[in-house]
Structure 1
Amino acid sequence: MDRSDAPLYFAFFNEIGIIGQLSRAMLEAELPKGLLAPHFSILNHAVRVKDGQTPLTLANAFQVPKTTMTHSLGVLERHGLIELKPHPKDGRSKQVWITEAGRSLRDRVVEATGPALAAFAQQFDPETMREIVPKLAEMRAFLDAARDED
């Protein structure tokens, strides 16, 4: 990279950060009191990626300390959105399972964001999204792989 390009790359990540903040606010407007975007992200991860992971695996996936993940899981458990069950192969560990209430809440929140997404879609048509999303996924995969090399 040419040093003169550094501001371009900084601006790129800055815009992504701002988009992240704005999308979090949109999401949190649809969440019940006491839940935040990181809590929803755990539910979404369980539905989208894999249910039954350990708190440590989730902490690593979200790049947060295990204590932070333990706190977030406690919030979700108190709301009846997940269950922590003993790990069948490791008595010292637990597994995180999304409950039907958690799955239902996740689905309702996704549906509730529909009007905001419809407004977004009026500005950015599906063809534009089909061009952008694969590039963003490629960038995410690169950054994720680079994180694992550290």
Structure 2
Amino acid sequence: MFDKRFSAGYLANHMARLFFHALQRNIAALDLAPAQFMTLLELWEEDGLTQAELVERLDVEQATMANTLKRMERDGLIERKPHPVDRRSRKNCLTERGRNLQKPATEAATSVNEIALQGLNPWERTALIELMRNTISNLQKAERF
């Protein structure tokens, strides 16, 4: 019999939904959606990424990313500029508003992480995150086959 209490997939999905809703609540005052926040994380790390690069880094569908970028442009978070080399691509560049949200948005996300990990000692936090990274890597490798 399947017991969801011991299913890594069920528990990861449940945890992801809870993280999603908590993040959504914490960044709502910034007029951000979780998908926009995830995209901003990548652009704060490397501004000017193309849609294809964001799709690859965030492991989302092309259509989903296209819609997210459209909303981000509408909301004044990014500007879409011609790519200097590939005329079929556009660079997604942060606006001043997009750059200025980095501190408050990452603080909101850090708050969610702190709530989720409260009661875990530093070793447990490190171990949990490393186990999550390994699990993600395993699933990404399996997806390629």
TM-score (normalizing by structure 1): 0.79
3-state SS of paired residue (1:85): strand
**Whole-Å Cα distance in 1 between the matches of residues 44 and 142 of structure 2?**
25
One-letter code aligned to 2:60: V
Is it true that 1:126 corresponds to 2:119 in the alignment?
no
- Tell me the SS of whatever aligns to 1:26: helix
1:78 alignment partner in structure 2: 74
State the shift of 1:37 in Å: 0.9
Q: How many residues align?
A: 144
Alpha carbons of 1:115 and 1:134: their partners in 2 closer, same or farther (altered >3 Å)? closer
| Contact 2:27/2:108, CA 8 A, preserved across alignment | no
Paired position in structure 2 for 1:58: 54
- Residue of structure 1 in register with 2:133 after alignment: 137
- Choose between structure 1 and 2 for higher RCO, CA contacts under 8 A separated by at least 6 residues: 2
| Deviating more after overlay: 119-128 vs 73-82 | 119-128
CA RMSD of aligned residues (A): 2.6
**1-side partners of 2:113 and 2:57: how far apart?**
26
Matched, 1:16 2:9: no
TM-score norm. by structure 2 comes to 0.81
Match of 1:35?
A: 32
Q: Structure 1, unaligned stretches of length 5 or more?
A: none
In the other structure, the counterpart of 1:45 is 42
Matched residue SS, 1:129: helix
